[in-house]
Amino acid sequence: MLDAELLEILRCPHCARDGKGELVLHKDSWLVCQDCGRKYPIVDEIPVMLIDEGDQWINTAQDALPIPPPAR
């Protein structure tokens, strides 16, 4: 599980340059950007915050995200 303080400072790398990109924790396995909808998996308790990774899941509904996320 992600530390609450870490969750407060993490931002979507795609949206952060515009001062946006707030992330919400989904089922302790994904970080979902509230602005662009990119979804970043948390693998072995480490968020994979790569724009390419978020792009892979942008069109997947939150309820359809695999739990746990696929290993890289």
Establish if 47 belongs to a structural domain.
Answer: yes
pTM to 2 decimal places: 0.91
- Residue range of the domain that includes 40: 4-64
For residue 19, the model assigns a pLDDT of 86
Establish if 70 belongs to a structural domain.
Answer: no
The number of folded domains in the chain is 1
The pLDDT tens digits of the residues spanning 21-70 come to: 999 999 999 999 999 999 999 999 899 999 999 999 999 999 999 999 98
Contact 36, 14 (CB under 8 A): yes
Establish if 71 belongs to a structural domain.
Answer: no
Establish if 69 belongs to a structural domain.
Answer: no
Q: Which residue has the tokens 């302790």?
A: 28
Half-sphere exposure of 21 (CA within 13 A, CB side): 18
CATH number of the domain to which 42 belongs: 2.20.25
Q: Whole-angstrom Cα distance, residue 17 to residue 19?
A: 6
Establish if 43 belongs to a structural domain.
Answer: yes
